[in-house]
């Protein structure tokens, strides 16, 4: 068996230990004679599983008691609509546009009310996080929306915006569980799990309890009401059972490594190896302002599109896969999520150094 180093932005690498455990339990989960994929979501076994999964996440993130954790389908993209439908009581919300995902969420919200773009970094291809200390927050705004880690551009908020007392809603898809967070700073934080937690097909949303009500837009489909899912403990309809199971395993893996502080230290160590090299390289350079760099997604270029393509191909042949940048920006991007081992980043950098020795003169 030969596994590659997978730098995909999502679906993305999972811890090998977790995959092995799932393999062991594939035919018989804890002596019940069936796979989690086959069992009823109404069974006691599954009920215990989902409750344990939620409890582990609660412990990892120290989620306060007045927050609910919902496991829902439709990916992060469905939340772009669910959030305004459930939260826009006054028909107004403020969005900070730091990339494609924030922009998509903002465009979706415009269908349901007035969605203001109160700041944007579009002027410099989203290569930085705008100053959010004194934004023109609308007095009527029901919430302020951010995308906290910008998967495509590789930027991350190092400080949350000053929302002037308004509720903060954050898409944390690509930085979920990468470091400790203070859940109470948010009204909602949510993310698709396929970036940093589990297989594709689910979103986890952590929502302050008082925001889960029947007071939603009148046309809101039953399945798009937070309350529907909260009242049914995320099992109003058949949930993504296997994904919940896999996420649960990843939560236990993170706990075994020491929780989110340990995860942060590990992620900082990995990111430093790559950024330090990019800062000194004669061939490669990062595309993001230093103070806003993401620990998770690291975009870089050689400055020559053809050489970028040569690099991506050579890297793939050497076992470093999915390094091609997002189709809208080009270049390269290394996603170094929680499950990427330090060794994967060290080896990538060694490979980049070798490539540089061979190609730097040809620039």
Ligand X SMILES: *Cc1c(COP(=O)(O)O)cnc(C)c1O
Q: Is 75 in the site for ligand X (CB under 6 A)?
A: yes
Least gap, CB of 240 to ligand X (angstroms): 12
* Closer CB to ligand X, 75 or 180, in the complex: 75
Least gap, CB of 132 to ligand X (angstroms): 17
Catalytic annotation present for 253? no
Contact track, ligand X, 9-48, x by CB under 6 A: -x--------------------------------------
Least gap, CB of 153 to ligand X (angstroms): 10
Q: Give the containing element (helix H, strand E) for 285.
A: strand 285-286
Tracing tokens 């934080």 back to the chain, one arrives at 189
Q: Is 179 in the site for ligand X (CB under 6 A)?
A: no
Buried b / exposed e along 168-194 (16+ C-beta atoms within 10 A): bbbbbbbbbbbbebebeebbbbbbbbb
Catalytic annotation present for 324? no
Catalytic residue among 56, 94, 142, 171: 171
Residue nearest ligand X by beta-carbon distance: 75
| Helix and strand totals (H; E) in the chain | 9, 14
The distance of Cα 88 from the centroid of its chain, to the nearest Å, equals: 24
Q: Is 154 in the site for ligand X (CB under 6 A)?
A: no
Q: Is 101 in the site for ligand X (CB under 6 A)?
A: yes
Catalytic annotation present for 101? yes
* Closer CB to ligand X, 75 or 91, in the complex: 75
End-to-end CA distance of the chain: 37
Q: Give the containing element (helix H, strand E) for 79.
A: helix 75-87
Catalytic residue among 142, 156, 166, 195: 195
Q: 136: Cβ–Cβ under 8 A, 6 or more apart, which residues?
A: 118
Q: Is 271 in the site for ligand X (CB under 6 A)?
A: no
Q: Which of 195, 227, 249, 333 binds ligand X (CB under 6 A)?
A: 195
* Closer CB to ligand X, 101 or 284, in the complex: 101
Catalytic residue among 101, 106, 292, 308: 101
DSSP letters along 84-113, please? Answer: HHHH-SSSEEEEEE-SHHHHHHHHHHTTTS
Q: Is 151 in the site for ligand X (CB under 6 A)?
A: yes
CB neighbour class for 45 (10 Å; exposed up to 12, middle 13-18, buried from 19): middle
DSSP letters along 163-225, please? Answer: -TTPPEEEE-TTTTTSS---GGG-SEEEEETTTTTSSSS-EEEEEEGGG-SS-S-TT--GGG-
* Closer CB to ligand X, 197 or 349, in the complex: 197
Q: Which of 130, 161, 192, 344 binds ligand X (CB under 6 A)?
A: 192
Report the candidate in 47, 35, 81 with the shortest Cα–Cα distance to residue 235.
47
Least gap, CB of 269 to ligand X (angstroms): 23
Q: Which spans of this chain sit near ligand X (rule: CB under 6 A)?
A: 10, 75-77, 101, 147, 151, 171, 173-174, 192, 195
Q: Among all residues, which ones are annotated catalytic?
A: 101, 171, 195
């Amino acid at each position: 068996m030969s596994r590659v180093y997978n730098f995909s932005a999502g679906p993305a690498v999972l811890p090998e230990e977790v995959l092995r455990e799932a393999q062991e339990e594939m035919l018989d989960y804890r002596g019940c004679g069936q796979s989690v994929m086959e069992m009823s979501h109404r069974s006691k076994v599954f009920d215990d599983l989902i409750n344990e999964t939620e409890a582990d996440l609660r412990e990892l993130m120290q989620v306060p008691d007045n927050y609910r954790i919902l496991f829902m389908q439709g990916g992060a993209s469905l939340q772009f609509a669910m959030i305004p439908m459930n939260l826009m009581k006054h028909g107004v919300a403020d969005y900070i546009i730091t990339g494609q995902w924030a922009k998509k969420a903002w465009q979706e919200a415009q269908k349901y009310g007035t969605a203001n773009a109160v700041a944007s970094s579009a002027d410099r291809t989203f290569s930085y996080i705008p100053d959010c200390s004194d934004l023109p927050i609308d007095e009527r705004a029901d919430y302020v929306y951010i995308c906290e880690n910008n998967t495509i551009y590789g930027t991350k908020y190092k400080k949350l915006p000053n929302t002037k007392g308004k509720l903060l809603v954050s898409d944390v898809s690509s930085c979920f569980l990468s470091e400790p967070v203070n859940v109470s700073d948010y009204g909602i934080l949510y993310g698709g799990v396929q970036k940093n937690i589990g297989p594709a097909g689910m979103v986890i949303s952590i929502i302050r309890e008082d925001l889960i009500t029947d007071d939603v837009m009148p046309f809101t489909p039953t399945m798009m009401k937070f309350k529907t899912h909260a009242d049914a403990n995320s099992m109003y309809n058949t949930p993504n059972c296997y994904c919940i199971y896999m996420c649960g395993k990843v939560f236990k893996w993170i706990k075994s490594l020491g929780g989110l502080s340990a995860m942060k230290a590990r992620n900082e160590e990995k990111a430093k190896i790559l950024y330090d090299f990019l800062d000194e390289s004669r061939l490669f350079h990062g595309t993001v302002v230093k103070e806003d760099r993401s620990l998770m997604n690291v975009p870089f270029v050689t400055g020559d599109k053809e050489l970028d393509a040569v690099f991506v191909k050579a890297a793939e042949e050497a076992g470093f896969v999915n390094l091609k940048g997002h189709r809208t920006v080009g270049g390269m991007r290394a996603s170094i999520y929680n499950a990427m081992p330090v060794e994967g980043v060290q080896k990538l950098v060694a490979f980049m150094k070798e490539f540089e020795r061979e190609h730097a003169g040809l620039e």
